[in-house]
Amino acid sequence: MHPRSAPEWEALLYDWHNDHRLRDQRKDIGYWLESIGGANRLLVLGAGTGRVAVPLARHQSRTTAALDLSLARLRRMPSVPGLVPICGDLRSLPINGPFDAAVAPYSTLQLLLSAQDRESALAEAARALTPGAHLYIDVSGNFDTRSPADWHITLREPCPAVGATVQEWERSVPMTDHVLIEKSFRVDDGTVLAEVRERWAYLDSLDLAGALDRAGFDVTGVDHGYGADNSPHRVIYHARRRA
């Protein structure tokens, strides 16, 4: 196996995990394309390795800023004309805009556990958007119903980038307002490639409508899923920045 740092392994296995376990999530791309319409300057918050940002940037001649906290994930993002990877924190954006639209896909905001952190992120999004621009926030109710689970294998598949079959082990620990999900990625001989600890806020604890209002947004709609019964557990808030 090629020697890599822990963040590099995590970014590589993030893509492998998504390819095998989140295939249905790809149905959100058409939803985002329709939602953002003709926005010429787009901000993607929590862009990861570009699963959403890349096709949105390719769709038309637009500038797409793809923000993520992980430099290793951003380095795996394909190079696309108009796509600008930016390493930074949602709570203190290292970019001013102005943007015509912003998307926070795949539960990004649920990684911020405190109400103060979420409100800081929404205030920063408002600062970066032009008056009248839309912010779309995709969150999930699945974390709220997670049961306690000790370590168990959730996936075992070949990973060509590793050159071996990889096992994904997982355990869940529900807390008062969030769930702790731990993952361990290993090859069959027991070698651990990466370990990940993520805390996801429950949908019921977010108070998104109130937080958006306080950040200067009007909620214009709430969708459940991406249409045609795709991913109905997902809740997508549409909000317009007030003047």
Residues in the chain: 243
State residue 96's pLDDT score. 87
State residue 25's pLDDT score. 66
- Whose tokens are 């003709």? That residue is 38
The residue ranges of every structural domain in the chain are 6-141+202-241, 143-201
CATH number of 6-141+202-241: 3.40.50.150
State residue 23's pLDDT score. 65
> Tokens standing for 238?
């549409």
Query: For the residues of the chain, what is the DSSP string, one character each?
Result: -----HHHHHHHHHHHHHHHH-GGGGGHHHHHHHHHTT-SEEEEES-TTSTTHHHHHHHTT-EEEEEES-HHHHHTSPP-TTEEEEE-BTTB-S----EEEEEE-TTGGGG--SHHHHHHHHHHHHHHEEEEEEEEEEEESGGGGPPPEEEEEEEEEEETTTTEEEEEEEEEEE-SSEEEEEEEEEETTS-EEEEEEEEEE-GGG--HHHHHHHTTEEEEEEEESSSTTSSTTEEEEEEEE--
Task: Using alpha carbons, list the distances in angstroms from residue 134 to 55, 68, 230.
Answer: 19, 20, 22
State residue 2's pLDDT score. 62
State residue 52's pLDDT score. 94
Sheet holding 178-187, edge to edge: 149-159, 164-174, 178-187, 192-201
User: Pick from 100, 91, 99: which is nearest to 46 by CA?
Assistant: 91
> Tokens standing for 17?
């995990």
State residue 1's pLDDT score. 59
Q: Output the average pLDDT for the chain.
A: 94
State residue 10's pLDDT score. 92
Cβ(108)–Cβ(90) below 8 Å: yes
pTM for the predicted model, two decimal places: 0.94
**Residue segments in the chain with a per-residue pLDDT below the cut of 50:** none
Return the exposure string of 12-25: e unless at least 16 CB atoms fall within 10 Å of the residue's CB, then b: bbbbbbbebeeeeb
